[in-house]
Amino acid sequence: MIDVTTIDREYLDQLSVEQLRDLARQLTEQSQRASREIQWHDAKIDKLTFELAQLKRVQFGVKSERLNAEQRALFDEAVAADIATLEEQLEQLTKKPAEADNGEKKKPKRAPLPPELPRVDRSHEPENTNCNCGRQMKRIGEDVSEKLDYTPGVFTVEVTSAASGRAAIAARWYKRPVQRP
């Protein structure tokens, strides 16, 4: 870009005809670019002035030009209707999984561990399975749980079995079971 303020008469006298034409072409392009920017800025100022006048008229205008309460109520009603519609849709979307459950919460089920993995059995038994009378006690039910275990390079399944209530064993004639702590 050429700085017009630094061009003096002596400089212009030393330029050839071709250099003067180039200088004139550059100055013309620069002038056109500046006038386009000025037009754009003027349009932007006009637009912002118009918007400001509209907003002032809405807020501070003569009562006949203001939005009255009834007109505002129309907008409020439309917004309220939209909100109600959205709430209904949201409620329908959230009810579908709940209706499938029939009001009961289901526990998440995981897939069983593959049978080809090696298994390690562990059982929890009380230290003494004999009754005070000397007879052998029996298991009351059994809980079995499988846990996937990983040692570097090897997956194994740890199978833990315990009588119901964590290794509960009882004699038929006893009223309370014995558990391992």
Amino acid making up residue 15: L
Name the stretches of the chain with pLDDT < 50: 98, 165-167
What is the C-alpha separation between 38 and 136, in angstroms, rounded? 105
The pLDDT value recorded for residue 178 is: 58
The pLDDT value recorded for residue 39 is: 92
The pLDDT value recorded for residue 137 is: 73
The pLDDT value recorded for residue 103 is: 59
The pLDDT value recorded for residue 78 is: 75
* Nearest alpha carbon to residue 140 among 165, 123, 174: 165
* Contact (Cβ atoms closer than 8 angstroms) between residue 145 and residue 160: yes
The pLDDT value recorded for residue 167 is: 45
The pLDDT value recorded for residue 169 is: 60
Give the model confidence (pLDDT) of 32-63 as tens digits: 999 999 998 988 888 888 888 888 777 776 66
